[in-house]
Amino acid sequence: MSLYALQKLIRDVNRRPQSREAYFQSPPKFAEGYDLAERERDALLKLDVGALYAMGVHGLLLRPFTILHKVAEPDYLKAIRGE
Query: Model pTM greater than 0.75?
Result: yes
Show the domain range for 18: 3-81
pLDDT at 2: 84
Residue 70, pLDDT > 80, answer yes
Considering the chain, what percentage of its residues have pLDDT values greater than 90?
A: 96
Residue 67, pLDDT > 60, answer yes
The rounded distance, in Å, linking the Cα atoms of 76 and 67 is: 9
The rounded distance, in Å, linking the Cα atoms of 8 and 14 is: 10
Lowest-pLDDT range, 1-10, 22-31, 73-82? 1-10
Domains in the chain: how many in total?
A: 1
